[in-house]
Amino acid sequence: MASEMVPPGGPPTDPKWLEQLVENQKQEIALKANELELEKQRDNNNLSWARESLAAQERDRKHERECQRDKQKDRQRFVLFLLGIIAAVVLVALWLGKDAVATEIAKAVVFVAAGSIGGYGYARSKAEPSADLNQSPSEPSS
Q: What is the pLDDT of residues 7-61, one digit of tens each?
A: 666 666 778 888 888 899 999 999 999 999 999 999 999 999 999 999 999 999 9
Residues 90 and 102: beta-carbon distance below 8 Å: yes
Distance CA(27)–CA(24), nearest Å, equals 5
Domain that holds residue 115: 14-126
Which element (helix H / strand E) includes 11? none
- Grade residue 62 by pLDDT with cuts at 50, 70 and 90: very high
Asked if residue 7 belongs to a domain, the reply is no
**6 inside domain:** no
pLDDT at 142: 41
Q: Is residue 136 part of a domain?
A: no
Decide: pTM greater than 0.75: no
